Amino acid sequence: MTYGISTTLNRKTIISMLGSAAMLLVMAAASPAMAMDNGTHGTAKTKGDLEGEGWTCEVVATGFWSCTKPGEKEQWCDATSCGPAPKMGTKPKTLIQKVPNAGIKVN
């Protein structure tokens, strides 16, 4: 008895699946390289350039540094370039609710 559904993969399906897998691998490999694409906002300088100009750099994450110099705006650098540090918002205010004393004593 046949149901009209092929249980074997045909050549086009296999090629399509291999192409999709290859594309995913290429995208996964390329994404770290594009993670800090400074575009026209970068300084076109490297961490070494900044350190040579008297900047102090410290590690903030694997492959990323925060560089500071008195009187200058903070720069973040990766292995290839540096750019302005991202703007940080203010911390949200925490609301603390006081719970009335229920007569429970803690020893």
pLDDT, block means (10 residues), the chain with 107 residues:
57 76 63 49 79 94 92 92 80 60 64
Query: Measured between alpha carbons, how far is 104 from 99 in angstroms, rounded to an integer?
Result: 12
What pTM, to 2 d.p., does this model score? 0.44
- Supply the pLDDT for residue 51: 94
54: Cβ contacts below 8 Å, ≥ 6 apart:
69
- Supply the pLDDT for residue 13: 76
Q: Tokens representing 35? A: 């993670």
Work out the number of other CB atoms within 10 angstroms of the CB of residue 75: 22
Q: Tokens representing 6? A: 């092929």
Which value, to the nearest 10 degrees, does the dihedral of the CA atoms of residues 55, 60, 65, 69 take?
Answer: -20
Q: Tokens representing 59? A: 């590690």
- Supply the pLDDT for residue 66: 93
Residues in the chain: 107
**Coil vs helix vs strand at 65:** strand
- Supply the pLDDT for residue 107: 61
